[in-house]
Amino acid sequence: MAEKIPQGLIQIYTGDGKGKTTAALGLAMRAAGHRMKVAFIQFIKGEQCGEHFFVSQQHPFDIVQISAGDSFTKPKEQLSREAQQTLAYAEEEMLSGKYDLVILDEIFVAISHGLITIKQVLDLLNKKPDSVELVLTGRKAPPEIVQRADLVTEMLMIKHPFTEEIGARRGIEY
């Protein structure tokens, strides 16, 4: 039988350091291990990464990326349309009763690029059922959303190989 959380909270993973999506994936894996239903919804991402390959092979939870392909090469109008579709999908899934944990990966990047608004996200937070744990990730979490959250973790970059021109490594950064 699936574990149920007594009270779903709002969590944020933000900051300039590496590990926001990774922390959310770890939480998703932990929840799935307790037979909780997880929706991992990605806003602004590049091509598919290791987590997509793992999930497609093992099926521990759902990863949904409405914006197919490399988001960083698309026109802003298309990205805006896809971000709005992703937000509507996220609300529908959060309210569906199917999921215990809903993760909105890189939602703050969508806000910082003007693809969705802070007000839209606050409205979504206000609709969150008590039975759902909601996690939001990305750089530059707006103060209004940070204040509304129950748990906020800031990833701080102290040293990273990107700054030393090593570059992204398959299986580690993506």
DSSP bridge partners of 11 = 135, 151
- Report yes or no: 4 and 146 within 8 Å, Cβ to Cβ: no
Question: Hey, what are 78's tokens?
Answer: 């298309």
- Report yes or no: 127 and 88 within 8 Å, Cβ to Cβ: no
Question: 4-59, pLDDT tens digit by residue?
Answer: 677 999 999 999 998 999 999 999 999 999 999 999 999 987 667 778 778 778 88
Instruction: Give the count of beta carbons closer than 10 Å to the beta carbon of residue 25.
Output: 23
Instruction: Give the count of beta carbons closer than 10 Å to the beta carbon of residue 119.
Output: 9
Handedness of CA 19, 126, 30, 70 (dihedral sign): negative
Residue 132 pLDDT: 97
Question: 64-86, pLDDT tens digit by residue?
Answer: 888 776 666 778 888 899 999 99
Question: 91-111, pLDDT tens digit by residue?
Answer: 999 999 999 999 999 999 999
Residue 16 pLDDT: 93
Q: For the chain, give the number of residues.
A: 174
Burial class (CB in 10 A: 0-12, 13-18, 19+), 29: middle
Residue 1 pLDDT: 53
Question: 150-166, pLDDT tens digit by residue?
Answer: 999 999 988 777 666 77
What is the set of domains in the chain, with CATH numbers?
A: 10-164 (3.40.50.300)
